[in-house]
Chain A
Amino acid sequence: MIQNEEFIQEFVEEATVHAALVEQMLLGKQLLKPANEAIHEVFRAVHSIKGTAGFFGLKKIVALSHVMESVFGEVRNERIVLDEVHVDVLLAANDCLKSMIDDVLNSEATEIRLHEEQLSLILGVSLGEVAEIEEEVISGPPDDEQWLEVAAVRTALQHGQSLYRWTVDAQTALTLAHVETVANVLGAMYDGVRITTAGEAKQWFESLRENAAEYQFTWLLASILESDLLHVALQLPVDTLQPLTLKLHGEQAAYGEVTVGIDSLDGGLGGSDSVGDGRGGSGSSSPNRAGAAGDSETRTVRAEDSIRVHVSILNDLLNMASEMVLGRNQLLRTLEDYRKTIPGLGPILQNIDRLTSGMQEKVMFTRMQPLGNVFNKFPRMIRDIAKNLKKEMELVIEGEQVELDKSMIEALADPLTHLIRNAADHGLETPERRVAAGKGRVGTITLKAYHEGGYVYIDIIDDGAGMDSEKIKQKALEKQIITADEVQRLSEQEALKLIFRPGFSTAEQVTDLSGRGVGMDVVRTNIEKLGGAIELFSTLGEGSTVRLMLPLTLAIIQSLIVEAGGHKFALPQANLKEVVTVCEDQRKEERRIETIQGAEVLRLRGRLLPVVRLARILGIEAALEPAKLRVLVLKIGSRMFGIIVDDIHGSEETLVKSLPDYLKDCHCYSGVTIMGDGKTSLILDLEGILRLSELQFREDAETAEDRQAELAEQALESQNLLLFQCSGSEMFALDLSMVARVEEIEATQIERVGQREYIQFRGDSLRVIRPESHLSVTQGEQQPRKLYVIIPKLVHHPIGIVIHRIYDNVTTRVALNSEDVRLKGIIGSTIYNDKLVLIMNIYELFEQAAPEFYAVAGKHAKRSGKVLLAEDTPFFQKMEKSYLEEAGYQVTLAVNGLEALEALERETFDIVISDIQMPHMDGYQLVKRIREHQTWLNLPVIAVTSMTGEWHTQHGMDSGFDFYEAKLDRDCLLQTIDKAIRLRKQVAAYD
């Protein structure tokens, strides 16, 4: 029975790995080919399961692995060539083995006879005549019995021991000491497994040594040790020990007892006939074993330079590491003032800072595991499904080395299984249909993992029939998931998304594999629980792709710290779409909070967004109705809603700690976190809040505008942004084209003159401003020693902008998603890497700080006139439109050349301002078309572009532009407009 419960767990872990390896190898096709390297690995895996199981006395596991080993042995010796049927039998046996390993304590009760029978059938068939020889051996000449105790061999094999032949030439340098060593070791280690007694051996040896110098002795040893260890243990030269393989009799195995027969024993036991041990040998070489022991380079055997550590220890480490980060922050804050006064403190603090961050990162890494851990089980599944459905398919796996947090990997197993089943069952067609559609018989499912932008993506791609949106709509109607009226309005993409609805199943025949109708909505929920998202693409006739997007780790999430009723909460930023500020005196009709049937809604870009007040849901008192309401627009799956909070405190990387059980009843928190100041803060569970709010959603009520917004987002030009922070917590951004340079300065370099601040810059004094003093944003207390000054370009009266920290310099497609942050000096907000970023409007900022130079009204006479602005990038649209409108122009927007032409057809404009790079029709084409047109001949047209340079300018002028201006230079642009209008008027007058 089980002898050592402490070690048994180790056996289970190890054996699980081995069994998995066997499965993996069986699924790979190389075993089907004769003479391949993989077989050695498989053989060794099974062998070591058998060996260890024998050590624990797990008889059934030993028995089954033994039979399997025998089969693999035969394959290795090229006596059997495996075919598909054999592989099925072996897989089934391996499954049985796996289940016994999983439930090791009850493994003795497992019925394995069927597998044994089937396996011995493989052996039986192939053995043929060999079996008869074995018969002879077992009932062989009586002198065999003298030294070969069959019962002892049987016991040895039942314990999973390997048999070795030890040949000693009396003439060699071997001394008696060796025999004694062997006898002692054998006696000590394998009491009861007596094959040849040591005493007898000694006697024989002694008596024969004298007069029979040319004699050879052969012992049969049984040991659990592998051959490479055995000779070390016994201190024998390697070449005197030869492993033996033993065969099993098929018909006897049927009795459930492992009976061994000894066949030619890889070249014969009686390697020499001199001691009268009988049988003539059939050669003494046994090269076959070498492969089993030696080849480790053949496949991706995971190198054993790792150790097993219990997860609880890693979790503790992770906790302590994050605690240490907090400690470091406090330390740095406390000692900041003493950096100067205590010599040498600076470098020490810096070092601790660096080490702590490094350590935290490494600890996080310890929890990372390759996705291969979960991908590995799919080849088997695909094989089974293919058999089951009579389809032909293959699975291509890419990126199994991509790593994710352990907890995430575990949680992914079910959703992935489901998606792959779906792809195989619903996605891929039968071979006949594939051929009819002009495709290859064999369908391909690709499982691909890769990193992108701080996320891990997993694509499940099939080259099957694709999804028929009409069929899906039909089905949705039948199942009453959607009304006929709604169906009309659905786009193709929206129709596909219907499969994520509860109770949806489109397979025409419900199979036992998938299509039970509990599928995709559960998958979606599970993925979203992990903080991820799921997307779906499909082309009819060509296949479908399901894309999972997952954060790297569960333990740390980016959160927005929000306040309601004096409590601070962390809100996971993954679901945050935008932040909308609603002012009391909001003049714009399109954005305000209204009440419809007792429920509050926010009118946002023409659609109604249900909103809830966080304080009300949590039953706390909100701050007195402020002049500004902050609404966080959130999206969970297809449900969009807003949460009203009292205040926003910027975003933090929060370490998620599990919620105490005592608070589970609140139903509105998903965890707890410790913030930078050491205080605890609850992480809001948005799903829970949604449930508590009892908001009613018409699922998936996405409107046409949403789709357009999404399309617009995809078509965005990328922009270079400088991300930075001032003393407060907000993240700001400036378009790099407006930045001349960034200077690092000491805080002491700033000099004050009255209310204003100046620095020395290139021999001149340069006025600097602090954005937080001029914008309605948070102001921090701390006054770091080092500051940065942004020197802007494209302005006439340079003013430096003092910032505290440069965060990053990124190229990104900006989805400028707001007309909402109505702060003076801010163009709008965008989300970058889950952070809310405010994009600065330098002109407005400078107007606040230095109205004498920057106020439009002061500098330029109020203008009038109609401007057509052709510009595809929302950011620039907004920027330029705001300059122009402030200057008094009436602006009409066109997002490309074609639209601009249409607008020109409709009404008359005083001037056209056009971007160069636009979709559909670019600026060059646009101006050519305008010039071709008789009535627009004298229409002033100005190019405003980020593509500057002589060639571009020349090309632009040749095309017919009047002027060619850099984007974002407001004053220049306004002056140029004046000039262009004046010039064209003169030209027209001459005409």
Chain B
Amino acid sequence: MVGSVPLADFGEEPLRAHLEDLPWLERAARAHHRVIGRAAGYGQVIPLRFATIYHDDGRVRTMLQERRDDLTATLARVAGRTEWGVKAYVDPRAFLPDPGEEGPSGGDTPGTAYLLRRRAQRDDKETAHLRATERAEEIHTALTALAAATAAHPPQDARLAAYEGWMVLNNSYLVPDDRTEEFTASVTGLGERYPDVDLELSGPWPPYSFTAPPEREEAP
């Protein structure tokens, strides 16, 4: 599926500028996403990245020919499967060591005491993060058992995604369609089993995270 876009917006320089313009990027990325979503309603899609631009139809044909094997294999891989996103949020305080487990000890001067206290706080935070990450690993392992493939995303920027606490899991799961219910039930079940973790399910998504082209081939 192709669409023509004006060079004035999608030439290298204007595009570079537009990408720094969040409202523009949001509109364009949502439009891209909408088109792919609609197309996915009609059949299996391999979503290309936003702003995958070719100079003319001939270049598109060439790309399709060059990537024929890769695209065929990708289609086979995602057929009958759907991408689901699962994020896990925690309130760091829920994972802090119990108070009194090891309190900061005196310190000779106020300055030393302050530094010791700061260090203890930092250590506590690391402990909390470790514990929260372990919990996220457990959840990921349970969900992986139901998925054909998984993909990890970095934790999202808190200001862009607007959440509090830590995002300790942000993964995509490629789930066979006959396991959809089992998968969503599993997310709910894990959320109930671990009340200190907020699980968020998103999807169904077109298989964005599982259709990336192979690592750049050496250009001939």
Partners in one complex: no
Interface residues of A (CB under 8 A from B): none
